Amino acid sequence: MPLKSREGKLPPANYYAQIFGHLTQAYPAAQITPATMASLKPAWDMLWQAGRPADVVAKTTCSCDGKHITLSPAFAVTLPKGAYRGPKGAERGALFDPASMRESAPVERTRRSYERVEAEIQRAQSKVQKIESRATSSKNAEKQALLRQQIADQLQSLAARQAEAAQIGRRLADLRASLGTAAFQPQLPQKSPQAAPPKEAKPRAAKKAAAGPKAPPKADKVPAAPAATKPAPQPVPQPASAAPVDPDQAILAKIQSLLPALAAQLAGNLKKAG
């Protein structure tokens, strides 16, 4: 953004001379011609109006292969403040994995809303399945009608959640596009499974005392036939790993496919019960 004192003005000749001096020392083998200067001048003027000194402009806007000087690709990139954030709790001056960066606060709030709706859909789906099971096993016509009405209410709620999820998904995509972070997929925190508490081992002496004295072996006892060897369990074939997909798109696809399958299953069960 240009400074008010430089808005609508152009830099002095010494500004270009300082940039020229930096470039000639940095790239002695390059030929800096008037055409080269003219191609870079609009960017230099814009940065001067924004208050950038000549040495910073020379270091940040120019790239060279040793012979040809061109405008750096990073010059055209504009990121709003807060579009990318470091990991939570990262120490000052410490490097971190770029994949662990956080997105902007508005994006994270929208993504959490998306996850909340997904959890509501899963709970509603489980509730419909339970009611459907009760309706199928019930022989009372009045009770079946009541349960069918409950199922219809739950399906209506599912439809509303589906529409809300689609709306949040579009808003999330628009936010990422406006911030230029659509291609960035941060690592979502994984919930660590809670380990089951260890069982208290009873002392061996207490077990022997509780079992009582061991009975003497019978002399005429015929030894039992050896048990048949059970076949070793065959390994369960694992599905081939699929290519990584966008978690938001996967959630949306799952939500969209929920209602038709559930409605078809419900219609079949009610038909059998009737």
Q: What is the per-residue pLDDT across 75-116, written as a single tens digit (0 to 9) for each? A: 766 777 788 888 888 787 776 777 778 888 899 999 999 999
3-state secondary structure of 97: coil
CA distance 266 to 260: 10
Whether pTM exceeds 0.95: no
For the domain that residue 145 is a member of, what is the CATH number? Answer: 1.20.58
Inter-residue contact 44 to 61 (CB < 8 Å): yes
147 found inside a domain? yes
Residues 6+ apart with CB under 8 A from 230: none
Q: Which of 145, 179, 213 is the last residue of a domain?
A: 179
Domain that holds residue 22: 13-76
CA distance 260 to 98: 40
Residues 123 and 68 in one domain: no
Strands, E assignment, the chain: 62-64, 69-71, 84-85, 102-103
Q: What is the per-residue pLDDT across 49-63, written as a single tens digit (0 to 9) for each? A: 999 999 888 888 777
Domain count, the chain: 2
Residues 6+ apart with CB under 8 A from 41: 16
Which helix (H) or strand (E) segment holds residue 56: the answer is helix 54-60
Neighbours of 269 (CB within 10 A): 15
21 found inside a domain? yes
